[in-house]
Amino acid sequence: MYYDPFFITEMTRMVIGITVFTVVFVLGLSVIGNWLIFSKAGEHPWAALIPFYNSYVLHRMTWGQGWMFLIPIVLGMLCTESFFGTVCSLLLIVFHGLTSYKLSLSFGYGIGFAIGLFFIPFLFRLIIGLSDRAWFGIPLDGMTYEDLKKRLIKVDRDHMTFHNPHDDFTE
């Protein structure tokens, strides 16, 4: 059987071109989404452009402590092919899920949106950035969606206004 080397080279170029385009497109959406989220949260939007610093800012927004961005890095380094590596991988998945959940809560979304953030973060962060919802603080541990909704003052059925989470808010 005869294989045309020119055809194989062109196929390889096409696959590489599509892959590069997809990676650049997804990275571009990620940067735009993070830029918009950071600006809504009162952070420096240019932090979305700096690789480790954007993770630091995101973890500071969701967990209240920026140093927690080191947890996924350390767990990622500990993942080996042993049983300990499997446990680290599971902990990494759980941590990413909790971070997604806290990010969705900090903008007033629920568990469904957190699932979307977990699986397609670049798209759902862009949705958060383009939405009219405001960032209203760091969700505390054990806080539910209903607790966070109490921080919002309902104006009418379709719109909600921002309430500063740092003010003392009592029912």
- The residue extents of the domains of the chain are 5-135
Evaluated on CA atoms 53, 54, 55, 58, the torsion sign reads positive
Asked if 121 and 37 touch (Cβ cutoff 8 Å), the reply is no
Position 81 scores a pLDDT of: 72
The candidate with the shortest Cα–Cα distance to 129, out of 110, 103, 157, is 103
pTM of the model: 0.75
Residue-wise pLDDT for 19-40, tens only, equals 999 999 999 999 999 999 999 9
Residue-wise pLDDT for 39-97, tens only, equals 999 899 999 999 999 999 999 998 888 899 999 998 888 887 788 888 888 999 999 99
| pLDDT band (50, 70, 90) for residue 103 | very high
Residue-wise pLDDT for 112-169, tens only, equals 999 999 999 999 999 999 998 888 777 666 666 566 566 554 433 444 444 444 454 4
Residues 6+ apart with CB under 8 A from 23: none
CA distances for 127 relative to 1, 11, 80, 83, 104, angstroms: 51, 35, 35, 38, 11
- Give bridge partners of residue 153 from the DSSP assignment: 161
Secondary structure in 3-state letters for the chain: CCCCHHHHHHHHHHHHHHHHHHHHHHHHHHHHHHHHHHHHCCCCHHHHHCHHHHHHHHHHHHHCCHHHHHHHHHHHHHCCCCHHHHHHHHHHHHHHHHHHHHHHHHCCCCHHHHHHHHHCHHHHHHHHHHCCCCCCCCCCCCCCHHHHHCCCEECCCCCEECCCCCCCCCC
